[in-house]
A and B are shown apart, each in its own frame.
Chain A
Amino acid sequence: MIDVRGLTALAVADGVRVGKWRARDVVEPYLDRIAQLDGALGCYLRVDADGARRQADAVDAACKGGRDPGPLAGIPLGIKDIFCTRGVETTCASKILRGFVPPYESTVTARLGAAGAVALGKLNMDEFAMGSSTENSAFQPTRNPWSPAHVPGGSSGGSAAAVAASLCAGATGTDTGGSIRQPAALCGVVGVKPTYGRVSRYGVIAFASSLDHPGPFGRTVEDAAALLEVMSGLDPLDATSIPQPVGGYRQAARSGREGLAGVRLGVPQEYFQPGMDPEVETAVRAAIDELARAGAQIVPVSLPHTKYAIATYYLICTAEASSNLARYDGVRYGHRAEQVRSLEELYTHTRGEGFGAEPKRRIMLGAYVLRAGYYEAYYGKALRARRKIADDFSAAFAACDAIVTPTSPVPAFKFGERTADPLAMYLADVYTVAPDLAGIPALSQPCGLTRAGLPIGLQTIGPALGEEICFRVAGAFEARTDWHTRLPPEPAL
């Protein structure tokens, strides 16, 4: 049996494509690992073993028949439970969607499947992607593979943890305020949030529509690049999907090995402020030195409106969330309260029972800021602040090609440490929200471990449609370091 621990996604696909092994031979050990180890980690909400075997067999049949099995042939992926999968229950980790089986497939998962990837099952997350620790899942906690007492980050905590623990070779996630990059950093894997609209949102359950960015998780920069290449592209089902051709992300990742001569990397002082964990700062500064040694020119840049980013983000995302979550009413799908005596009770009881604390909080705040008379002071103000934050980046990119920062000010925190205070949890996103507001691409990759053995993430931010420069910089760092080869300890059985 193939030892899949630490295997990269592209190694799997290359093996399948050259006939070194069959897709089915790769899927089985992953299913075995999940069966053995996921009880302790809680990454998966649902494993679709039959579906995975069927897809793997289809890939093998294509190979046998001499047909191209696709660039992602046989790569076993975990799918964040925010992506609708036809015929497979999709809950967004919320009680209110329990039992919902979509009659359609998200564009992302459809494209991944068409490229030969195999979906193993649906991954845990914060309910409706609202959170930074995956503690807000209505169903189960997900543990950080590096330390079971610590959270994996969130909201795509199941995705990051599953890739870190080799319970899949890659995964999908969504990033609204940092929900791909922050858990990637906390679990020591690569996570990419592309340019807004680069990856279709069709079939991705909406949290905050103008901020939701689907993207990939990989063990390596090139794995993530390969997944993103397939996920990206114009989708006629998403009116905000970008028509420009998709870049050569894998090529860009590989080109980083040649160094970064001629590349100007901006370092914003606003991202190195009090409150940052000293071990994180040390590791990130060392990483920046390494990038300089790779040939990059390091330039100081300023993003003066950074301090407004969290407030801006929470006003916009809660407003949009309160709207997007209005559809959960117990009429067409999902949870419905029993024994209601009126339409009014159908709504209030269904929603009161079905939503967890964080979605409720955001629905309430969103309703508050959108109310007539409050709109301009809150939502309208936030949209203007958003423009200023985006303009900061445009100005900075006049002086540099990419920006490097820490991904998270702190490494993984312990369960319960921040749940009592929603604001403290919101501040975990301080370095990740601004690129979401600006809609520009950003990538997190491992760049160190704390003394306690917890991963630290380096964030590379590019200009709009500048995914390639992010991959090139990340590829350069990966070529010169071995953080991406570190594996978390195997969970005790």
Chain B
Amino acid sequence: MARIGPQEVLELASLARLQLTTEEVARMTDDLAAILDYVDALRTLDTTDVEPMTHAVPFDCPLRVDRVAPSLSAEEALANAPRRTESFFEVPRIVPVAGAPEDDT
């Protein structure tokens, strides 16, 4: 069942920021199609009026007291950074162009 094709796989890969080789795209297309067919079994299950179960715990969100504890030092924060400049994390220059969100909060 051709419910998902290579084009859609490429779109998903772009959404998920995954570079896939041509072979990976082909394999992924087949795998996703098979898995989606399998999970289709769920369609036969009547879930009318069933509350979605988003958590396995029955309690409400606990809240923390607004207290400041020591921060990491800049050195600790940057210790694992693959690239840094002084006390900043470094990334390739961000050009705000099509497709690149700027401050999407």
Contacts and interface: CB of A to CB of B under 8 A. Distances in A.
Q: Do chains A and B touch in the complex (CB under 8 A)?
A: yes
Contacts of A100: 80
A342 B93 CA distance: 7
Interface in B66-105: 72, 76, 79-83, 89, 91-95, 99-100
Contacts of B14: 348
A11 interface: no
A196 B57 contact: yes
Contact of A383 (B15, B54, B93): B54
Contact of A311 (B31, B41, B55, B72): B41
Interface string B1-32: 00010000100111111111000100110011
A159 interface: no
Interface string B42-81: 1101010011111111010110100000001000100111
B47 A381 contact: yes
A384 B53 CA distance: 6
Interface stretch (A292-300, A349-357, A448-456, A474-482): A349-357
A348 B18 contact: yes
B59 A364 contact: no
B92 A341 contact: yes
B101 to A, nearest CB: 11
A330 B15 CA distance: 17
A354 B17 CA distance: 12
A387 B53 contact: yes
Interface in A338-396: 340-349, 351-353, 355, 357, 360-361, 363-365, 367-368, 371, 378, 380-388, 390
Contact of A360 (B28, B56, B92): B28
B100 A348 contact: no
A422 B72 CA distance: 41
Given A103-B76, A332-B80, A365-B32, A352 B20 contact: yes
Contacts, number: 168
Given A331-B91, A332-B89, A311 B81 contact: no
A384 to B, nearest CB: 4
A64 interface: no
A388 B52 CA distance: 9
A353 B82 CA distance: 15
A422 B39 CA distance: 13
Given A210-B56, A423-B35, A387 B12 contact: no
A388 B44 CA distance: 13
A97 B33 CA distance: 29
Nearest to B63: A239
Interface residues of B, number: 54
Interface string A83-103: 000000000000000011101
B82 A334 contact: yes
A390 B45 contact: no
A196 B35 CA distance: 27
Contacts of B31: 361, 422
Contacts of B54: 210, 383
A384 B50 contact: yes
A330 B38 CA distance: 34
Given A240-B55, A242-B57, A351-B18, A340 B92 contact: yes
Contacts of A331: 81-82, 89, 91
B47 A385 contact: yes
A14 B51 CA distance: 49
Given A345-B92, A380-B52, A383-B54, A315 B39 contact: yes
B39 A314 contact: yes
B35 to A, nearest CB: 6
Contacts of A361: 28, 31-32
Nearest to A378: B39
Contacts of B100: 343-344
A315 B32 contact: no
A384 B52 contact: yes
Contacts of B99: 344
B76 to A, nearest CB: 5
A106 interface: no
Given A315-B39, A340-B92, A384-B50, A364 B28 contact: yes
A203 interface: no
Contacts of B79: 101, 103
A368 B42 contact: no
Contacts of B51: 384, 387
A307 interface: yes
A314 B35 contact: yes
Nearest to A243: B59
Interface of A: 99-101, 103, 196-197, 210-211, 236, 239-240, 242-243, 305, 307-308, 310-312, 314-315, 322, 326, 329-336, 340-349, 351-353, 355, 357, 360-361, 363-365, 367-368, 371, 378, 380-388, 390, 421-423, 426, 437-439
**When A and B form their complex, which 5 residue pairs have the shortest distance between CB atoms, in order from nearest?**
A439-B56, A352-B19, A383-B52, A333-B80, A384-B47
Given A308-B45, A344-B100, A352-B20, 5 more contacts: A211-B56, A239-B62, A331-B81, A332-B89, A385-B50
Interface of B: 4, 9, 12-20, 24, 27-28, 31-32, 34-36, 38-43, 45, 47, 50-57, 59, 61-62, 64, 72, 76, 79-83, 89, 91-95, 99-100
16 contacts: A197-B56, A210-B55, A333-B80, A334-B82, A344-B100, A346-B91, A348-B14, A348-B17, A352-B20, A357-B24, A357-B27, A364-B9, A364-B18, A421-B34, A423-B34, A423-B35
